[in-house]
Chains A and B, each alone.
Chain A
Amino acid sequence: MRREGPVLLGAITGIVVIISTYFTTQVLTTVKNEIDQWYLIAEAFVCLVGLINLSRIHFDRLSKKKPGAANSIALLVCMYGFVLFGLYRGSLGDKQYSWLYNTTVNPMSATVFSLLAFYIGSAAYRAFRVRTAEATVLLTAAVIMMLGRVPIGKMISPYIPQMAGWILDYPNTAGMRGITLGATLGGIATALRIMVGIERGHLGSD
């Protein structure tokens, strides 16, 4: 029953959600909305589990005085600081809480995101250094694309922006759609395997 219970529960909820997508009756919509609410409640509850896991790992690191323990202090102070401040202010929509979030977390996220530009440069450099036919095609397409998107490309030749547009609209779109098509069918097949209980990887077994 330890195995069959979750499979059965998953199958029933999966079938209800799928049917409610195609048949929009009042009953099915209500049931689907109710399932969505349960999912949100479960998700909120497991946040606590995550908090416990982080606390256990970092308190353990502190107690054993492992290297980088100062980082653990910073993490615990920030994590519990946000929780306690949020509880003290009583609402996530609170102005001061939002100010604290917007002036710390948002700029840090933007900083990490901006690093992507440098990582793209280094990844592209390495990819283009590989001397294979595929890498040559990649390099040629990339050069045309880059030149086609900046004014100097048009100055060199008016055909370069047109070639860039053609690469984007035809070979690129065709490839992307092929991958999306296969992935969609794969997703449906995976869902079906889970619902009929023949794939149990999520339960800890093959």
Chain B
Amino acid sequence: MIAKGMISTFWIELSFCVAVLALISRAKKGLKIPAINKVAGLDALDEAIGRATEMGRPVHYSPGIGDLTNAQTLASFSTLSHVAKQCAKYDTALIVTNRTPIVYPITEEIVRQAYMEQGKPDAYNPDSVRFISDDQFAYATACVGLMNRELPAANILIGAFWAESLIMAEVGSQTGAIQISGTAHTHQIPFFVAACDYCLIGEEIYAAGAYLSKDPVLMGNLVAQDWGKMAMSLIILVGAVIATVSPNANWLLDILKL
């Protein structure tokens, strides 16, 4: 028996998952998947790494301060994988800073694997992936110190950020780094928009893995996300019309609250 108050959510989520799996299956069969828009922030990743390579300075990557229960952290791993591969390819120094102990071994493994995939396991520096501190502001302070001392040419901040977002982005801006940021936390997005060169807004960080890999199967998944948004927008539109025409009719709200 579905828990009370979760019935509508269950069916909406199930429908969305079915749509995602259907489009994955369609893509696996090689059927045509609609094109997706360009994401400037993700296209700029290679440009930022290229700039760091030319300047002979490192790239700093932060996966945010969320732990593994946060989907934004998981989404950030895909971008890190791409960044690490590019850095390994061009022999650019990469510094990954971690706030959460449980995220640290994973980012270390991602970077190590990237160097192995590029055929340069010896170029991997174990000290490039660092655990900093479990404390939010101690982590932010250490990142600020690192940016001032090691002057990374590119500062990539993608994941779950809270109050430390602006501290890190503003210092990165002052040190002259090209900055690419991204978070799904709506209260931090304005800070990133103001302080960074490129900002991935909300769902764009989840699309990064698919977008960067150019894998048609993963791209199909993004189309399902758009379908989901269209369906949700339709529900909102219907709700707005009902609320305008008949302000006392709550049947749609009652269905959604089931």
- Name A's B-contacting residues (CB within 8 A): 21-24, 39, 42-43, 46-47, 49-50, 53-54, 56-57, 60, 68, 105, 108-109, 112-113, 115-116, 119-120, 122-124, 126-127, 176, 179-183, 185-194, 196, 198-199, 201-206
Shortest beta-carbon distance from B70 to chain A in Å: 9
Do the beta carbons of A123 and B184 come within 8 Å of each other? Answer: no
In the complex, the chain B residue whose C-beta lies closest to that of A48 is B101
Known contacts A126-B194, A180-B202, A204-B81: does B110 contact A187 (CB below 8 Å)? no
Contact of B166 among A108, A120, A192 (CB under 8 A): A120
Contacts of B186 in A (CB 8 A): 176, 179-180
Contact of B228 among A21, A42, A185 (CB under 8 A): A185
24 residue pairs A–B, Cβ–Cβ below 8 Å = A23-B3, A39-B68, A46-B105, A49-B101, A50-B101, A53-B130, A105-B138, A109-B136, A109-B138, A123-B170, A127-B193, A182-B225, A183-B202, A187-B72, A189-B228, A192-B17, A193-B210, A198-B221, A199-B209, A201-B80, A202-B110, A203-B109, A204-B109, A205-B81
| Chain B contacts for A127, CB-based, 8 A | 193-195
8 tightest Cβ-Cβ pairs between the two chains A and B? A204-B113, A186-B206, A201-B78, A186-B203, A50-B131, A183-B184, A182-B203, A187-B71
When the two chains form their complex, are residues A119 and B167 in contact, meaning their CB atoms are under 8 A apart?
A: yes
B71 with A185: CB separation less than 8 A: no
Report the interface size class on chain B. 35 or more
Besides A49-B104, A204-B114, A206-B78, 17 new A-B residue pairs in contact (Cβ under 8 A), listed by A number: A23-B2, A42-B102, A50-B131, A53-B129, A53-B131, A105-B135, A116-B166, A123-B166, A126-B173, A179-B186, A180-B184, A182-B225, A185-B229, A186-B205, A187-B72, A199-B210, A205-B81
Across the interface, B20 reaches (CB within 8 A) one of A179, A187, A189, namely A189
B189 interface hit (Cβ, 8 Å): yes
In the complex, are the beta carbons of B163 and A187 less than 8 A apart?
Answer: no
Residues of A within 8 A of B44 (CB): none
